[in-house]
């Protein structure tokens, strides 16, 4: 993992935020290559889940086509949204402080945390450790809207993107003219004031989510849950995550949230975890009718196996909902339905990290003189690679740079392409290998005489000659359009 973090800094994938001031925990900046990789992950998700959402076979007996629409909601929402949804009361971790060293820990992670005192031990194992009892710590970032800083102006940065889709349910129904089943998709930033951000970008305080809220009939919801659970797993595998390092894990009944009818995590064996352990990459949750009911009626709690509105001693809802009708009217049957919701929720940053960890490799290849040399290479899927190709003049004279620049400008119209004429050709190949560039096209003396270029494959290092006029078609075929 240390090598991957070093490569991310060296090649411009990910930097610590505010690094010249010592950084700030749990926040990261994406560099020139990182922003392209992240954009490609988002674009692949949007293309596959939204624009080409019905390319796959639906569950047996379900409609062969369904609608999927996008939305982009604000980061700051009405405070009552978070009270009705349960976040205001329930979205917290248990916090433990050490009175001696002033370190702070999550109560459920004491066994895997390290005390800053030397030698390294777990919190509580030093004779000087003085741990406080666990207490609640709300994970939402608080801010204020307007000129006055008082309780009336309190607001929160959203801890998830999902609620923005639920509160816009009526707007989508009215404007997109969708019918059940249908999905609403969103990509956006979320914020959680993590007690102990760690593992590079895996657990951050600012992160980006790719979420779908898929609305369906209650009697069809189990089939759709299984459909989305399996489809999301296949998506990661199709983009290069090996099947033995990625798995699907169903939650046990004890793990389920009070509103959940079923949840599965797609998990990945990140290299920062102990051997045999997996970390959550994405959650697929069967949320039932919890969310729409909450925003209609108020905060829901489970009593006697049923979800009911939480009420105070006066019989009124503790956190009332909007009172608006968020049901779906079926014109064919004449019935009103509170749809069930299936929620595939993926983290952009965690996906990027998993793809980087999976792609990182070290091998040995011969240099220009045939001497074996160690190599670092990112074997990123071509759809995700930040730079799709590099154009390299063999030497900076004899007309080669001019021809190479002509090819570079032509390819640049369709793809993110690099032009590199600095250093030996072997050194330039190594640079592109570390950036994950799938193909390099070298313009040399033969190019000037017969119009062919050398194309080098990143993964195999095999080289072949093709006509320069065929390079765009070659890339288009290899990159899937």
How far apart are the C-alpha atoms of 378 and 102, rounded to whole Å? 40
Contacts 24+ apart (CB under 8 A), 473-478: 474/439, 475/388, 475/389, 475/411, 475/414, 475/415, 475/439, 476/414, 478/382, 478/438, 478/439
pLDDT digit string, tens, across residues 417-439: 999 999 999 999 999 999 999 99
Which strand (E) or helix (H) includes residue 466? strand 463-467
pTM: 0.90
> 396: which DSSP letter?
S
> 133: which DSSP letter?
P
How far apart are the C-alpha atoms of 351 and 72, rounded to whole Å? 20
> 310: which DSSP letter?
-
pLDDT tens, per residue, the chain with 481 residues: 999 999 999 999 999 999 999 999 999 999 999 999 999 999 999 999 999 887 778 888 887 778 999 999 999 999 999 999 988 887 766 768 788 887 777 777 777 777 888 887 888 888 888 888 877 767 899 999 998 888 889 999 999 999 999 999 999 999 998 999 999 999 999 999 988 888 999 999 999 999 999 999 999 999 999 999 999 999 999 999 988 999 999 999 888 887 788 999 999 999 999 888 999 999 999 999 999 999 999 999 888 888 899 999 999 999 999 999 999 999 889 999 999 999 999 999 999 999 999 999 999 998 877 889 899 999 999 999 999 999 999 998 999 999 999 999 999 999 999 999 999 999 999 999 999 999 999 999 999 999 999 999 999 999 999 999 999 999 999 997 5
Nearest Cα to Cα of residue 346 among 133, 46, 23: 46
How far apart are the C-alpha atoms of 215 and 221, rounded to whole Å? 8
Would you say 44 and 383 are in contact if contact means Cβ atoms under 8 Å apart? yes
In angstroms, the Cα distances linking 446 to 18, 114, 399, 450 are 48, 60, 12, 6
Helix (DSSP H) and strand (DSSP E) numbers for the chain: 13, 25
* pLDDT for 367: 80
Q: By 3-state DSSP, what share of the chain in percent is helix, strand and coil, each rounded to 5?
A: 30, 30, 40
pLDDT digit string, tens, across residues 280-309: 999 999 999 999 999 999 999 888 888 899
How far apart are the C-alpha atoms of 432 and 255, rounded to whole Å? 44
Strand partners, 419: 391
- Burial-class residue 183 by CB neighbours within 10 Å (0-12, 13-18, 19+): buried
How far apart are the C-alpha atoms of 325 and 314, rounded to whole Å? 24
The dihedrals phi and psi of 310, each to the nearest 5 degrees, come to -75, 125
Would you say 322 and 84 are in contact if contact means Cβ atoms under 8 Å apart? yes
């Amino acid at each position: 993992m240390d090598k991957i973090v070093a490569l991310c800094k060296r090649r411009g994938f990910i930097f610590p935020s505010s690094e010249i001031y010592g950084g700030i925990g749990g926040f990261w900046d994406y560099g020139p290559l990182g922003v392209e990789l992240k954009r490609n992950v988002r674009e692949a998700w949007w293309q596959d889940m939204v624009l080409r959402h019905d390319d796959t076979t639906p569950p047996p007996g379900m409609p062969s086509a369904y609608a999927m629409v996008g939305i982009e909601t604000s980061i700051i929402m009405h405070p009552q949204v978070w009270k009705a949804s349960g976040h205001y009361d329930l979205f917290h971790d248990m916090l433990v402080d050490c009175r001696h060293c002033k370190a702070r820990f999550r109560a459920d992670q004491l066994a895997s945390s390290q005390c800053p005192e030397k030698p390294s031990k777990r919190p509580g194992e030093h004779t000087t450790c003085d741990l406080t009892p666990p207490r609640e710590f709300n994970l939402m970032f608080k801010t204020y809207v307007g000129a006055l800083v008082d309780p009336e102006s309190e607001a929160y940065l959203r801890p998830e993107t999902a609620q923005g889709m639920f509160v816009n349910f009526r707007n989508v129904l009215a404007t997109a003219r969708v019918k059940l089943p249908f999905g609403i998709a969103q990509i956006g930033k979320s914020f959680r004031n993590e007690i102990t951000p760690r593992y590079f970008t895996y657990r951050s305080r600012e992160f980006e989510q790719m979420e779908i809220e898929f609305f369906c009939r209650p009697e069809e919801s189990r089939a759709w849950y299984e459909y989305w659970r399996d489809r999301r797993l296949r998506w990661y595998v199709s983009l290069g995550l090996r099947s033995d390092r990625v798995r699907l894990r169903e939650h046990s009944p004890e793990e389920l949230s009070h509103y959940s009818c079923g949840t599965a995590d797609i998990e990945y064996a990140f290299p920062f975890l102990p051997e045999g352990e997996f970390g959550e990459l994405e959650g697929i949750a069967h949320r039932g009718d919890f969310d729409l009911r909450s925003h209609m009626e108020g905060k829901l709690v489970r009593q006697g196996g049923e979800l009911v509105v939480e009420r105070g001693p006066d019989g009124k809802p503790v956190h009332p909902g909007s009172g608006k009708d968020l049901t779906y009217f079926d014109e064919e049957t004449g019935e009103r339905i509170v749809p069930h919701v299936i929620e595939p929720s993926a983290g952009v940053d965690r996906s990027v990290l998993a793809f980087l960890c999976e792609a990182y490799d070290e091998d040995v290849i011969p240099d220009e003189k045939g001497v074996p040399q160690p190599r670092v290479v990112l074997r990123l899927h071509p759809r995700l690679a930040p730079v799709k190709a590099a154009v390299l003049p063999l030497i900076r004279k004899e007309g080669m740079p001019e021809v190479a620049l002509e090819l570079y400008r032509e390819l640049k119209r369709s793809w993110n392409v690099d032009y590199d004429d600095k250093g030996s050709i072997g050194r330039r190949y190594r640079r592109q290998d570390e950036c994950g560039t799938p193909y390099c096209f070298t313009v040399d003396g033969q190019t000037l005489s017969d119009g062919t270029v050398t194309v080098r494959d990143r993964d195999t290092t095999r080289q072949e000659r093709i006509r320069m006029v065929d390079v765009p078609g070659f890339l288009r075929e290899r990159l899937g359009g």
